[in-house]
């Protein structure tokens, strides 16, 4: 399920299970490319939570994670970061990152 985070609920959204966090902006072209891939992932891996964080709407969370460029992707397993990728990565690589947090 794709969920849009707010500064107030971000930490609750990443607590359990496999989670992909996408720090993005609505005006960022590479972010829009990643968004399409994340929609595919949401369909292929329904048990992986996708949390989108708009850096303009969630400045405190973006500051906490020191987001300096977007898209900025964090891969969590049970509330622990297991991988971090900065920039638009190819769909196949993104799916490999998902597999890494699942297995």
pLDDT digits (tens, 9 = 90+) for 41-52: 899 888 899 999
Residue 9: predicted pLDDT: 96
Residue 100: predicted pLDDT: 81
- Cβ–Cβ under 8 Å, residues 88 and 33: yes
Q: Check if 28 is active-site.
A: yes
**What is the number of structural domains in the chain?**
1
CATH of the domain at 18: 3.40.30.10
* Segments forming the whole domain that contains residue 37: 2-102
pLDDT above 80 (res 90): yes
How many whole angstroms separate alpha carbon 96 and alpha carbon 66? 25
| Whole-number percent of the chain with pLDDT over 90 | 73
pLDDT above 90 (res 99): no
- Of 31, 50, 55, 97, the catalytic one is 31
- Of 5, 13, 20, 28, the catalytic one is 28
pLDDT 10s digits, 59-69: 999 999 999 99
């Amino acid at each position: 399920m794709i969920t849009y985070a707010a500064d107030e609920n971000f930490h609750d959204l990443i607590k359990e299970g496999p989670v992909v966090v996408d720090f993005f902006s609505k005006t960022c072209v590479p972010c829009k490319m990643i968004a399409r891939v994340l929609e595919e992932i949401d369909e292929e891996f329904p048990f992986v939570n996708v949390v989108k964080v708009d850096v303009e709407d969630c400045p405190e969370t973006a500051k906490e994670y020191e987001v300096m460029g977007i898209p900025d992707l964090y891969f969590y397993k049970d509330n622990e970061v297991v991988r971090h990728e900065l920039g638009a990565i190819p769909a196949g690589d993104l799916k490999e990152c998902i597999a890494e947090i699942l297995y």
